[in-house]
Amino acid sequence: MTYRALELLNLPPDELSFLLDIGCGSGLSGEILDEEGYIWAGVDIAPSMLEVALEREVEGDLFLQDIGQGFGFRPGSFDGAISISVLQWLLNAETSHPTSSPPHRLSRFFTTLHSALRNPSRAVFQFYPSSDDQIQLITSAAQKAGFGGGVVVDYPNSNKARKVFLVLFVGGGGGGAGHQQVPEGLQGEEREDGKVMFERRREREAKREKGGKRKGVKDKDWILKKKELYRQRGKEGVPRDSKFTGRKRRAVF
């Protein structure tokens, strides 16, 4: 689902992008972002999940955050955002207080997220709505916050493979002007093992990359850009640049 979210995000292929992983949990999606060569930050409401992510030594910066209370990031901080299996939890109200109501939480979430994204950019959410009314409530809150976009449904005729994505646009929507059209959902038939076309394609790509250079292998230019971005963000302990930065090591036998 993370690979599909990145495909829908439609980021420029040759740029170093800084992404926000909303509801990052133990860092499963973050590991994929690392492999694909992105710099990222993750937020989650569960301290125990963030502790697991720290133990796994993911490369992203991690924040303890109730997303229903909104974000405090500087405007235009991120080149895009993804979220896997999280958005539906904003519809739960733990108390009767007005600030805990789903509409208020959705409003705070989308308004502050819109501010945190650069113009143009996209945000992609895979989520599990229980009804059309929930989809309408979520999309309405996003539109009021200034987002464009809509819902993408992959494999709508499959009980197991069906997935719902909310694809939101800020400004031009990412990928340059004229890319505001909502992508089409994937179509296809489900196999007996529950896998479908997109998953089979990933399997083929993994086999091709096995034994060769992975997409996420970093060269010297990528490493220098990443270190410079970390310095601009005030991160401590960034190693100094040297003639050894990004140099391939000889194999030792």
> Residue 40 domain-assigned?
yes
What pTM was estimated for this model as a whole? 0.77
What does the alpha-carbon distance between residue 53 and residue 71 come to, in Å, rounded to a whole number?
20
> Residue 77 domain-assigned?
yes
> Residue 233 domain-assigned?
no
Cβ-proximal residues to 163 (8 Å cutoff; 6+ apart), any chain: 1, 4, 126, 153, 154, 155
Each residue's pLDDT tens digit, 36-94: 999 999 999 999 999 999 999 899 999 999 999 999 999 999 999 999 999 999 998 66
pLDDT of residue 124: 98
For a pLDDT cut of 90, what percent of the chain falls above it? 62
> Residue 18 domain-assigned?
yes
pLDDT of residue 191: 53
> Residue 125 domain-assigned?
yes
Kind and range of the H or E run holding 125: strand 117-127
Domain count, the chain: 1
| 110 — pLDDT class (breaks 50, 70, 90) | very high
pLDDT of residue 227: 73
| 96 — pLDDT class (breaks 50, 70, 90) | low
| 253 — pLDDT class (breaks 50, 70, 90) | very low
pLDDT of residue 239: 76
> Residue 62 domain-assigned?
yes
50 is in which domain, residue-wise? 2-217
pLDDT of residue 221: 76
Q: What does the block give as tokens for 112?
A: 């502050």
- Contact call for residues 39 and 58 (beta carbons, < 8 A): no
| 178 — pLDDT class (breaks 50, 70, 90) | very low
pLDDT of residue 200: 52
Q: Which amino acid is at 110?
A: F
Kind and range of the H or E run holding 28: helix 28-35
Q: What is the CATH number of the domain that holds 103?
A: 3.40.50.150
Average pLDDT, the chain: 84
pLDDT of residue 100: 80
Mean pLDDT over 238-245 rounds to 72
Higher per-residue pLDDT: 196 or 9: 9
Each residue's pLDDT tens digit, 11-21: 988 788 999 99
| 240 — pLDDT class (breaks 50, 70, 90) | confident
Each residue's pLDDT tens digit, 207-234: 545 544 445 556 677 677 777 776 776 6
> Residue 22 domain-assigned?
yes
What does the alpha-carbon distance between residue 123 and residue 169 come to, in Å, rounded to a whole number?
7
Give the rounded distance of the alpha carbon of 44 from its chain centre: 13
| 202 — pLDDT class (breaks 50, 70, 90) | low
Identify any residues that bridge with 123 across adjacent strands, giving them in sequence order: 81, 168
Cβ-proximal residues to 63 (8 Å cutoff; 6+ apart), any chain: 41, 42, 43, 44
> Residue 52 domain-assigned?
yes
